[in-house]
């Protein structure tokens, strides 16, 4: 009988019930909220479902030494996490993004790249705020990239500058990407007049196949020479786009833009979520990172919309830009472009801004990679 009781006691000590702490429960609730928002509200379900379930996985209380947890060397989760920790998942995601992105809106109206550039003020604004609240320059650079609304870039940069903050920064970046439809519209309405919201932009000119093929080649060479440290992201982004536009590598483009990016997205979401173990994640620094992340998104949206308003002072007639596409400069593709369309149609049901908003949106993808390269050059 004593042996049976001893065995039961040993078994109990290995269960999650015996090792649970309040932090685990808090994170499990957060994970369930992520899953609810993804399924019920359809807020970026491709991101929030794997991240939310990853949070559940990462916060099952474990007995020390079981070699199951994500931070235990040699565990399956730890091996999968190396793609985040070593930074080789983000370039694969950029390859897929390039393979499904149409740069025609940017090629037909090159001045929209300035709008995408203006929105990167969110990155450097968050960097300054992070320094002001006590983070060191390497940590501040990693936190700042949240303002680009680009989860893969945030992972890539943080894995090199501040790996101890990787979980908090990655979850923050992906969370705010999902919250773009909530954060941006009030700012867009606040900064624009009714007259500005009704601006109709002239249709983009047709873009030839030759232009589409030359753009990723020339764009890569220019950007890579300017910011060589951004090579892994920029190279894969433009390669993916060349696979799409060349017309002779359709199978590769389909694979990169479909199965490959889907698998990597699952692995990134799962491991980023699992990295939020309560004992590693529930710290004061994590709360500050989430707060600064929200501010950086707001700064980016403010900068993009205000830049268009100022830019319009120098444009005439049908060359004017609707300021509602200023928000699309953050690189949450295509979520922020869809927000431009959604808010624009509230005031004119026949004004289709999506095709125009995709210009600064894809410029924002390039801009965030360039900003990451600049920060890596100066801080790395």
Render pLDDT for 322-352 as a digit per residue (tens, 0 to 9).
999 999 988 888 889 999 999 999 999 999 9
Closest C-alpha among 31, 106, 23, 54 to residue 281: 23
Two tokens at 132? 């002001």
What is residue 63's predicted lDDT score, i.e. its pLDDT?
Answer: 65
Categorise residue 199: left if φ over 0, alpha if ψ from -120 to 50, beta otherwise: beta
DSSP characters over 147-193 = GGT-HHHHHHHHHHH-GGGHHHHHHHHHHHHHTHHHHHHHHHHHH--
What's the pLDDT tens digit per position in 21-58? 889 999 999 999 999 999 998 888 998 999 999 999 99
pLDDT at residue 3 in the model: 73
Q: Specify whether the CB–CB gap between 116 and 364 falls below 8 A.
A: yes
pTM score, whole prediction? 0.91
Inter-residue contact 126 to 292 (CB < 8 Å): yes
- The 10s digit of each residue's pLDDT in 274-283 is 999 888 888 8
Kindly report, residue by residue over 286-297, the tens digit of the pLDDT. 999 999 999 998
Structure tokens at 90: 């983000």
C-alpha span between 50 and 58 (Å, rounded): 12
- In terms of C-beta density within 10 A (0-12 exposed, 13-18 middle, 19 or more buried), how is residue 289 classed? buried
pLDDT at 220 over 70: yes
Please tell me the predicted confidence (pLDDT) of residue 16.
Answer: 74
Cβ density class 117-128: b for 16+ within 10 Å, e for less = bbbbbbbbbbbe
Residue 64: the pLDDT is 66
Residue 285 backbone dihedrals phi, psi, to 5 degrees:
-60, -35
Helix (H), strand (E) at residue 250? helix 250-255
HSE at residue 271, side-chain half, CA atoms within 13 A, is: 25
Given a contact cutoff of 8 angstroms between Cβ atoms, the answer to whether 11 and 232 are in contact is no
| Confidence grade of residue 6 (pLDDT, cut at 50, 70, 90) | confident
Which tokens is 31 given? 């994970």
Does residue 172 have a pLDDT over 70?
A: yes
**56 membership: H or E segment, kind and range:** helix 45-58
Q: Which two tokens stand for residue 20?
A: 């649970």
Torsion of CA 79, 139, 32, 263, to 10 degrees: -40
Least confident of 58-67, 75-84, 127-136, 177-186: 58-67
State the pLDDT at residue 279. Answer: 84
Q: Residue 202 burial (CB < 10 Å; 0-12/13-18/19+)?
A: exposed
Of 27-41, 82-96, 164-178, 214-228, the poorest mean pLDDT is in: 164-178
Q: Which residue has the tokens 């799409």?
A: 244
Predicted pLDDT of residue 105: 92
Per-residue model confidence as pLDDT tens digits over 60-75: 987 666 678 888 888 9
Structure confidence by residue, pLDDT tens digits, 235-273: 999 999 999 999 999 999 999 999 999 999 999 999 999
For residue 68, what is the DSSP state? -
Rounded mean pLDDT of the chain?
A: 91
| Of 225, 196, 176, 137, the residue nearest 320 (C-alpha) | 196
Per residue in 74-109, pLDDT tens? 899 999 999 999 989 999 999 999 999 999 999 999
Number of residues that this document lists for the chain: 380
Average pLDDT over residues 201-209: 92
Q: What whole-number percentage of the chain has pLDDT above 70?
A: 98
pLDDT at 379: 86
User: Using CA atoms, how far apart are residues 345 and 343, in angstroms rounded to an integer?
Assistant: 6
Element (H, E) at 375: helix 354-379
């Amino acid at each position: 009988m004593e042996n049976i009781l001893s065995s039961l006691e040993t078994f109990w000590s290995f269960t999650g019930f015996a090792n649970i702490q309040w932090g685990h429960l808090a994170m499990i609730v957060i994970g369930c909220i992520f899953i609810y928002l993804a399924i019920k509200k359809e807020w970026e379900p491709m991101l929030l479902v794997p991240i939310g379930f990853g949070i559940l996985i990462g916060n099952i209380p474990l007995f020390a030494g079981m070699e199951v947890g994500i931070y235990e060397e040699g565990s399956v989760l730890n091996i999968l996490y190396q793609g985040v920790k070593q930074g080789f998942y983000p370039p694969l995601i950029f390859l897929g993004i390039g393979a499904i992105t149409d740069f025609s809106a940017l090629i037909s109206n090159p001045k929209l790249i300035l709008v995408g550039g203006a929105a990167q003020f969110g990155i450097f604004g968050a960097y300054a705020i992070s320094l002001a609240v006590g983070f060191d320059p390497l940590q501040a650079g990693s936190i700042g990239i949240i303002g680009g609304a680009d989860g893969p870039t945030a992972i890539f940069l943080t894995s090199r500058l501040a790996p101890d903050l990787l979980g908090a920064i990655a979850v923050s970046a992906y969370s705010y990407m999902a919250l773009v439809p909530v954060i941006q519209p009030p700012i867009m309405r606040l900064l624009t007049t009714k007259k500005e919201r009704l601006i109709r932009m002239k249709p983009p000119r047709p873009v030839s196949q030759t232009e589409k093929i030359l753009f990723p080649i020339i764009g890569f060479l220019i950007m890579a020479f300017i910011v060589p440290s951004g090579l892994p992201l920029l190279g894969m982004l433009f390669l993916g786009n060349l696979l799409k536009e060349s017309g002779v590598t359709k199978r590769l483009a389909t694979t990169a833009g479909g199965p490959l990016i889907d698998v990597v997205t699952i692995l990134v979401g799962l491991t980023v979520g699992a990295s939020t173990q309560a004992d590693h994640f529930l710290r004061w620094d994590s709360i500050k990172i989430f707060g600064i992340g929200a501010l950086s998104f707001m700064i980016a949206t403010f900068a993009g919309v205000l830049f268009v308003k100022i830019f319009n002072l120098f444009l005439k007639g049908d060359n004017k830009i609707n300021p509602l596409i200023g928000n699309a400069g953050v690189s949450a593709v295509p979520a922020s472009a869809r927000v431009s369309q959604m808010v624009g149609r509230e005031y004119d049901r026949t004004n289709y801004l999506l095709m125009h908003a995709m210009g600064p949106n894809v410029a924002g993808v390039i801009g965030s990679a360039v900003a990451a390269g600049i920060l890596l050059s100066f801080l790395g």
